[in-house]
């Protein structure tokens, strides 16, 4: 609103005498300039403007109440699977949209009302509060010390040694209960980190079909994921076990395998590597079949599957562990033992 | 022999010899080469192979070699199968515009009939995956939930949980699967184009592939309903975090500035 419709008699006088402040000069270059002169708001001097502000604040609070009612109503009324199109958000679940909108409006208008109230109607006169020293006066200090000495004497702590000693004992023992609870951080993992479900003779089961893999199933350039025979997704321990034993199976031309041990542990160019990144244990299978590189999506560690899964980029500290595989009597791919080294990220005792 | 010998200088002797030679050559030719060709020409298949060979010679041979044997610029096409041709040419990846980290999809320049002819020619070079039929990739009898499981196991690491695509190393990327024809998705799984590994029927059955396609259509198709609204590319925490930091915090700062701003003062006009 403009100041034109403010009654003339309500306008403040020219602000002059109010600000008698010292001015910095060459004798006192850091003189305190004091507070600037107070200026009145329209609402301070015009009751009609104040009434208008009051109505705006009340309106905002009322909108909040209505929005809360609308929140409850939409929770009850809107089916949870109804979708609507809202520009510019696009297709969206109607219930989500209504709940979010009404909750947002209800909270925002409470805040906006409070802010408008404070800015237009509450006093905005600047107040200076002088600071003072925080040190206690000498007589207060002396009294506290005297009180303490007298209390020590009256408690007879020095004389009644039984009380003193048992109190010390109680205080010393009590923290032990807290220390004891630390045991729940354990038990120590033991050798769990070094072993997986793989062992000699376990067949490699295709995770897609749940059937054991034959060497002829795995084509050059293909990517397959395998789990150890006997581990079913319905098992209680499935997640714990697959987190260690997940396998990534690819087939390379044997001529392309640069690492001697990798070739030895492969079967006709079929290699089985742990799917768990050795950096922080993300599942890693962004396999590029032409470069034979595997990329970890978390921190871009890159491993070369044609060279013993050597780390060629990124923060990973170890090559991916390789599982030694062969073929069973029935012609299925099988493990020839557990991983030689712990899978996944390094740990303190890994060595 | 004497009779022949005496007439060897006859003016027509050269003509006779020439006729005999021509007859012998023609006879030999008729006896060997054209025999099979003449019969094969009857079938539409070899007609397509012939047409495909012509198209190949014009559009592909400069990189892949005159017989599909490959060169330093391009891989051999022997044994890639018709599915690979249908995918590469049908999505516009081939013919490639320029070498680079990855050949991107672009405008398709061959008609489907020409692509089929090219595919027939390449398939004739060596056995490989064949173009799938409609009921192999079609939606009938597919299990969307199973497809989701399979997609998250086999594909999501590169193509994102709903097929929005993602980055790989050195400028390579897994493209978004939005709007890709079901047939081409099937062929890509079958053949493993460029750096994508293949998922042959022996490890990911035809039914599995159909389920994956049905899942993609459900989560990333034309009629997919997004309960969350604004997807911000569906890329997960990166774009969502960026949005929250810029617009969310930006709005909070703007409101905070307004709250603490100087209020309007009454002034004498």
With beta carbons under 8 A apart, name residues in chain A contacting B260: none
Q: How many CA atoms lie within 13 A of A79 on its CB side?
A: 4
* Of B237 and A221, more confident: A221
- Those residues whose C-beta lies under 8 Å from the C-beta of residue B35, and which sit 6 or more positions away, are none
Mutate to test the interface with B, among A213, A219, A296 (most CBs of B within 10 A): A219
Which residue intervals of chain A are DSSP H helices?
A: 42-45, 47-77, 94-120, 138-155, 161-173, 175-181, 238-245, 260-265
Name the A residues in 212-251 with CB < 8 Å from any B CB. 213-214, 216-219, 221-225, 250
For A218, other C-beta atoms within 10 Å of its C-beta total 27
User: pLDDT tens-digit profile of B165-198?
Assistant: 888 888 899 999 988 999 999 999 999 998 999 9
Residue recorded with tokens 């807290």: A178
What is the fold of B40-130? Cytochrome Bc1 Complex; Chain D, domain 2 (1.10.760)
User: pLDDT tens-digit profile of B6-24?
Assistant: 777 787 888 888 888 888 8
CB contact under 8 A, A222 and B199: yes
Name the A residues in 279-298 with CB < 8 Å from any B CB. 283-291, 293, 295, 297
Structural domain count of chain A: 2
Same domain? A120 vs A201: no
CA nearest to A119, candidates A48, A45, A50: A50
Answer yes or no: is A150 within a domain. no
Answer yes or no: is A138 within a domain. no
ipTM comes to 0.73
Nearest chain B Cα distance for residue A8, angstroms: 9
Rounded to whole angstroms, how far apart are CA atoms B108 and B120? 18
CA nearest to B214, candidates B206, B235, B153: B206
Q: What is the full per-residue pLDDT of chain A (351 aa) written as tens digits?
A: 444 455 555 555 544 444 455 666 777 788 777 777 888 888 888 899 999 999 999 999 999 999 999 999 999 999 988 888 888 777 788 999 999 999 999 999 999 999 999 999 998 888 888 888 888 899 999 999 999 999 988 888 878 889 999 999 999 999 999 999 998 988 888 888 899 999 999 999 999 999 999 999 999 999 999 999 999 989 999 999 999 999 999 999 999 999 999 999 999 999 999 999 999 999 998 999 999 999 998 899 999 999 999 999 999 999 999 999 999 999 999 999 999 999 999 888 887
Range of the domain at A111: 38-124
Q: Does domain B132-223 have CATH number 3.30.479.30?
A: no
Any A CB within 8 A of B194 CB: yes
Give the count of Cβ contacts less than 8 A between chain A and B. 127
> Dihedral through CA B222, CA B199, CA B103, CA B52, nearest 10?
-100
Q: Domain boundary residue among A124, A148, A173?
A: A124
Answer yes or no: is A182 within a domain. no
Same domain? A324 vs A198: yes
CB contact under 8 A, A209 and B203: yes
Answer yes or no: is A189 within a domain. no
With beta carbons under 8 A apart, name residues in chain A contacting B195: 288-291
The full set of domain ranges for chain B reads 40-130, 132-223
| Measured CA distances, A205 to A1, A131, B125 (Å) | 78, 77, 34
Largest CA distance in chain B: 143
Same domain? A116 vs A199: no
Picking from A41, A208, A302, the nearest residue to B154 by CB comes out as A208
Name the B residues in 134-173 with CB < 8 Å from any A CB. 150, 153-154, 157-158, 166, 168-169, 172
Same domain? A322 vs A199: yes
Nearest chain B Cα distance for residue A290, angstroms: 5
CB contact under 8 A, B203 and A222: yes
Angle between helices B112-125 and B81-90 (to 10 degrees): 150
What chain A residue is nearest to B190 in terms of C-alpha separation? Answer: A222
Answer yes or no: is A219 within a domain. yes
Name the A residues in 74-103 with CB < 8 Å from any B CB. 83, 86, 88-93, 96-97
Three-state SS at B239: helix
**Is A266 in contact with A287 (CB distance < 8 Å)?**
no
């Amino acid at each position: 609103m403009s100041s034109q419709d403010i009654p003339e008699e309500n306008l403040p006088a020219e602000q002059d005498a109010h600000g008698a402040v010292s001015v910095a000069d060459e004798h006192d270059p850091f003189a305190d300039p004091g507070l600037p002169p107070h200026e009145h708001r329209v609402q301070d001097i015009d009751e009609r403007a104040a009434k208008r502000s009051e109505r705006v604040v009340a309106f905002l609070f009322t909108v909040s109440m209505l929005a809360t009612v609308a929140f409850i109503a939409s929770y009850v009324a809107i089916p949870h699977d109804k979708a609507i199109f809202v520009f510019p958000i696009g297709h969206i679940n109607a219930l989500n949209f209504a709940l979010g909108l009404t909750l947002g409006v209800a909270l925002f208008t409470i805040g906006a009302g409070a802010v408008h109230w404070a800015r237009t109607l509450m006093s905005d006169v600047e107040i200076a509060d002088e600071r003072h020293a925080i040190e206690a006066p000498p007589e207060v200090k002396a009294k506290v010390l005297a009180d303490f000495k007298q209390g020590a004497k009256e408690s007879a702590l020095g004389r009644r040694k039984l009380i003193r000693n048992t109190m010390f004992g109680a205080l010393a023992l009590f923290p032990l209960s807290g220390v004891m609870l630390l045991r729940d951080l354990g038990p120590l993992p033991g050798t769990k980190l070094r072993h997986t479900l793989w062992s000699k003779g376990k067949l490699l089961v295709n995770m897609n079909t749940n059937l054991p893999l034959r060497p002829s199933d795995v084509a050059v350039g293909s990517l397959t994921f395998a789990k150890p025979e006997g581990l079913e997704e319905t098992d209680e321990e499935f997640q714990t076990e697959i987190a260690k034993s997940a396998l990534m199976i690819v087939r390379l031309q044997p001529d392309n395998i640069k690492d001697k041990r990798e070739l030895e542990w492969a079967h006709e160019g079929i290699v089985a590597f742990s799917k768990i990144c050795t950096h922080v244990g993300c599942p890693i299978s962004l396999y590029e079949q032409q470069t034979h590189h595997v990329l970890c999506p978390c921190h871009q560690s890159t491993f070369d599957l044609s060279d013993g899964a050597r780390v060629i980029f990124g923060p990973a500290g170890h090559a991916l562990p390789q599982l030694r595989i062969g073929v069973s009597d029935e012609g299925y791919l099988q493990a020839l033992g557990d991983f030689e080294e712990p899978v996944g990220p390094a740990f303190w005792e890994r060595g | 022999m004497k009779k022949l010998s005496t007439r060897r200088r006859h003016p027509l002797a050269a003509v006779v010899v020439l006729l005999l030679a021509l007859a012998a050559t023609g006879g030999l030719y008729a006896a060997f080469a054209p025999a099979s060709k003449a019969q094969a020409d009857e079938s539409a298949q070899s007609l397509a192979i012939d047409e495909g060979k012509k198209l190949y010679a014009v559009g592909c041979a400069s990189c892949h070699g005159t017989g599909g044997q490959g060169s330093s610029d391009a891989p051999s096409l022997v044994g890639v199968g018709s599915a690979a041709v249908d995918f590469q040419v049908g999505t516009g990846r081939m013919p490639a515009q320029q070498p680079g980290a990855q050949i991107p999809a672009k405008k398709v320049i061959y008609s489907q009939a020409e692509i089929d002819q090219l595919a027939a020619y390449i398939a004739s070079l060596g056995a490989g995956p064949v173009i799938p039929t409609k009921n192999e990739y079609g939606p009938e009898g597919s299990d969307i939930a199973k497809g989701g499981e399979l997609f998250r196991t086999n594909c999501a690491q590169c193509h994102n949980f709903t097929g929005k695509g993602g980055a790989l190393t050195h400028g390579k990327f897994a493209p978004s699967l939005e709007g890709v024809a079901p047939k081409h998705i099937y062929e890509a799984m079958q053949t493993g184009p460029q750096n994508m590994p293949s998922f042959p029927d022996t490890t990911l059955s035809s039914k599995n592939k159909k389920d994956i396609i049905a899942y993609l259509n459900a989560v990333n198709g034309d009629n997919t309903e997004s309960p969350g609204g604004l997807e911000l590319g569906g890329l997960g925490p990166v774009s969502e975090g960026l949005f929250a930091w810029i617009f969310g915090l930006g709005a909070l700062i703007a409101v905070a500035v307004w709250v603490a701003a100087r209020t309007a003062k009454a002034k004498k006009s």
